[in-house]
Amino acid sequence: MNTSSIPVMSKIPKGSSLWKAGFRRFLKNPLGLSGCIFLCILAILSLLAPWIAPYSYEAQDLSLGAVGPNSSHWLGTDILGRDLFTRVLYGGRISLLVGFCATAVSVLIGVTYGAIAGYRGGILDTIMMRFVDVMYAFPFTIFVIILMVFFDRSLVLLFVAIGAVEWLTMARIVRSQVLSIAKQEFVEAAIIMGLPRRRIIFRHIVPNILGPVIVYTTLTIPGVMLLEAFLSFLGLGVQPPASSWGLLIREGAESMEEYPWLLVFPGLMLSLTLFSLNFIGDGLRDALDPRSSLD
Amino acid sequence: MLKFILKRFFLETIPSLLVIATITFFLIRLAPGGPFSGEKSIDPQVLAQLNAHYGLDKPLVVQYVNYLANVSHGDFGPSFKYPNRSVTELIGQSFPVSLELGLFALIFAVVFGVGAGIVASLRPNTFSDYAPMSIAMVGICVPTFVLGPLLILVFGLHLEIFNVSGWAFPRDRVLPALTLGMAYVAYIARLTRGGMLEMLFQDFIRTARAKGLNEFQVLFKHALKGGLLPVVSFLGPAAAGLITGSFVVETIFQIPGLGRFFVMAAFNRDYTMIMGIVLFYAFLIIMLNTLVDIALTMLNPRLKLK
């Protein structure tokens, strides 16, 4: 009987939410979109590396040695006769993994820290943000190098070390956003309803600041990947025989005079990935920045 | 001004350095191994003597207090790996090299970054905007450890214009400075473009044009002063990044600067050397930020030093 009212309900025009409008704007950005497509293809290829790679990543062929790109080895081989295409795919797995996991660590720390400081306010806020100010004077790369030299060079430590230095700006962004949200009526309503503080912060406030958080996250990932590659280049990151792009670039730079392709291809892959991530970040900022939603 | 500097020094610089010193001190001491554990099978008696000589046998807290007491009157202690050399001496010897490299890179980055940014801002969203900005983007996305070897490959090995490595001749500065500065060209270009675009649509620019100034004067005397503010505030972090971030470039080009010293000190677990360099870098970063704050208030009278 009442079912007839349902079609009528569905005819009410839907307002376009921030997310939908932002998504539509992002689709119109050719650079951001192509970056997104490139990154997706790369991620799928890297994930499927064990099944699609033409060779094993540690299979050596010493009689072959280093040969340039040809029909059986698309990107050539290294000094030990290992297929470079395969090694670049496997390297991409590690580089992307570190990029995303370490960023996740930094986002987790930054959002929690910033949200608590912004919501609690008062003396706690002052102390917490003073600490962030102090940490800004800390030479980060040095800190990561110390961590990697002095403790086990495991992948998990790499995530933690990079995550531990990249959360500062996120904490500042989140705090300033929380400060403006915390004064709004729906937060007061939640307080009056007697909800626990943790629930108010993480269920009511944090979801409302996801826009800036997502934008800054996409801009953090390239920085993190660069740091990983930098550490691996210094011999402090991923340890052989595992490979990452930074490690491949290090090996390539050592023999670039005779075998330049060993430097060029891994370098190209890293650069293209950083390009894509930066374009995606810029595109998302244009799309999700509320100030630009007016036009 | 004097009040501002004093306040910065006592309320911000000293506490910051203290926190950083504490974190670094306990971090490197809590890790397994020590400065003498790497060397092959030292006689236990000799090891005990070495530890006693450098005070490493005392409780950690005592060592910490002793270290801080020494630092407070400027003594950073002896280096563990370079016997008979003090940390102060080693830093004093290698820092000028890093400073020179950083300075050249900064000049390169500012000249090309500001230039590209101005060109791009004159006709926004046209070819003369996209071209310099895309080239600038390359600087952000090609890491120094890819760019450096590539430059060596092309200009050092094939064209033989520059030396492959070293720091002996004036022209040895070119490739390292280029490598180090490239990433900052891109940031500065973006900041300049943004700042200039904001200025060029302001009323006082229209006034300047209306009173008949030529375009050159409008750009360089009126717009640039305000348009460069974001660049000036970026110069602090940029200078800090250039001077402290030269490990890779110094490693690639085999330049005897502080960055290379630090990496070696970390690998050698040279405690006093690590502490000294960390504190020195931190002090440098804080000083540069203070300088930028002062410069900003000079360029923009609406700001006040707090």
CA-to-CA separations, A15 to A12, A22, A26, A204, in angstroms, rounded: 9, 13, 18, 21
A17: how many CB neighbours lie within 10 A of its CB? 9
Question: So what's the pLDDT on residue A11?
Answer: 53
- DSSP 8-state class, residue A190: H
For residue A57, the SS3 value is coil
Nearest CA in chain A to B136: A275
Q: What are phi and psi of A127, to 5 degrees?
A: -65, -45
For residue A77, the SS3 value is strand
Domain ranges of chain A: 20-287
8 Å CB contact between A157 and A151 = yes
Indicate the burial class of A41 (C-beta count within 10 angstroms; 0-12, 13-18, 19 or more).
exposed
Band of pLDDT at residue B40, cut at 50, 70 and 90: low
Highest mean predicted confidence (pLDDT) among A107-116, B23-32, B198-207, B226-235: A107-116
Distance from CA of B231 to the nearest CA of A (A): 19
B33 Cβ under 8 Å from any chain A Cβ: yes
Chain A residues inside the 8 Å CB shell of B286: 137
Indicate the burial class of A179 (C-beta count within 10 angstroms; 0-12, 13-18, 19 or more).
middle
Question: So what's the pLDDT on residue B32?
Answer: 67
Band of pLDDT at residue B292, cut at 50, 70 and 90: confident
Question: So what's the pLDDT on residue A295?
Answer: 33
Render each residue's pLDDT in chain A as its tens digit; 295 residues: 444 444 555 555 555 666 777 788 788 778 888 888 998 998 888 888 788 777 776 767 666 666 777 777 667 777 776 778 888 888 888 888 888 888 998 999 999 999 999 888 888 888 888 888 888 777 777 777 777 777 767 778 888 888 887 888 889 888 888 888 888 888 888 889 888 888 888 888 888 888 788 888 887 888 888 888 888 888 777 777 777 888 888 888 888 777 888 888 888 888 889 888 888 887 887 777 654 433 3
Written in H, E and C, the secondary structure of chain B is CHHHHHHHHHHHHHHHHHHHHHHHHHHHHHCCCCCCCCCCCCCHHHHHHHHHHCCCCCCHHHHHHHHHHHHHCCCCCECCCCCCCEHHHHHHHHHHHHHHHHHHHHHHHHHHHHHHHHHHHHCCCCHHHHHHHHHHHHHHHCCHHHHHHHHHHHHHHHCCCCCCCCCCCHHHHHHHHHHHHHHHHHHHHHHHHHHHHHHHCCHHHHHHHHCCCCHHHHHHHHHHHHHCHHHHHHHHHHHHHHHHCCHHHHHHCCCCCHHHHHHHHHHHCCHHHHHHHHHHHHHHHHHHHHHHHHHHHHHCCCCCCC
Question: So what's the pLDDT on residue B39?
Answer: 56
In this structure, of A21-25, B15-19, B103-107, the range with the lowest mean pLDDT score is: A21-25
Preferred mutation among B11, B133, B146 to probe A, highest tally of A CBs within 10 A: B146
For residue A83, the SS3 value is strand
- pTM (2 decimals)? 0.78
Question: So what's the pLDDT on residue B111?
Answer: 92
For residue A179, the SS3 value is helix
Give the separation between CA B86 and CA B92, rounded to whole angstroms: 10
Q: Quote ipTM for the complex.
A: 0.74
Bond before A240 cis per omega within 30 degrees:
no
Chain A residues inside the 8 Å CB shell of B285: 136-137, 139
Calculate the CA A185 to chain-centre distance.
34
Cβ contact, residue pair A234, B269, below 8 Å? no
Between the CA atoms of A218, A37, A229 and A57, what dihedral angle is there, to the nearest 10 degrees? 140
8 Å CB contact between A60 and A107 = no
CATH 1.10.10.10 fits A20-287, yes or no: no
Structure-block tokens of residue A28 = 């119109």
Chain B residues inside the 8 Å CB shell of A150: 27-28, 31-33, 266, 269
Band of pLDDT at residue B152, cut at 50, 70 and 90: confident
| Among the listed residues B284, B260, B195, the one whose alpha carbon sits nearest the alpha carbon of residue B234 | B195
Q: Give Cβ neighbours of residue B66 (< 8 Å, ≥ 6 apart).
A: B55, B58
In this structure, of A112-126, B15-29, B287-301, the range with the lowest mean pLDDT score is: B287-301
Give the separation between CA B51 and CA A137, rounded to whole angstroms: 32
Question: So what's the pLDDT on residue B150?
Answer: 86
Calculate the CA A280 to chain-centre distance.
11
Q: Give Cβ neighbours of residue A161 (< 8 Å, ≥ 6 apart).
A: A143, A144, A147, A148
Structure-block tokens of residue A214 = 């997502």
What confidence tens digit (pLDDT) does each residue in B215-233 have? 888 888 888 888 888 888 7
Nearest CA in chain B to A276: B141
Candidate from B27, B31, B282 with C-beta closest to A139 = B282
Higher pLDDT, A174 or B134: A174
For residue A24, the SS3 value is helix
Report the DSSP beta bridge partners of residue A83: A77
Candidate from A139, A267, A271 with C-beta closest to B285 = A139
| Among the listed residues B13, B206, B170, the one whose alpha carbon sits nearest the alpha carbon of residue A133 | B13
Give the separation between CA A73 and CA A180, rounded to whole angstroms: 57
Give the separation between CA B287 and CA B285, rounded to whole angstroms: 5
CA-to-CA separations, B188 to B108, B112, B148, B229, in angstroms, rounded: 11, 9, 20, 11
Q: What are phi and psi of A10, to 5 degrees?
A: -70, -10
Q: Which residues between 155 and 214 in chain B have a beta carbon less than 8 angstroms from any beta carbon of chain A?
A: 157
Give the separation between CA A171 and CA A165, rounded to whole angstroms: 11
B52 Cβ under 8 Å from any chain A Cβ: no
Helices (H), A121-239: 122-136, 140-150, 155-165, 168-181, 185-192, 197-199, 210-233
Question: Which residue bears the tokens 């993994």?
Answer: A97
* pLDDT score of B93 more than 80: yes
Higher pLDDT, A61 or B73: B73
Q: Give Cβ neighbours of residue A58 (< 8 Å, ≥ 6 apart).
A: A82, A241
The HSE-up count of residue A237 (CA atoms within 13 Å, CB side) is 30
Chain B residues inside the 8 Å CB shell of A229: 143, 145
H-run or E-run covering A90: helix A84-120
What confidence tens digit (pLDDT) does each residue in B270-283 have? 888 888 888 888 88
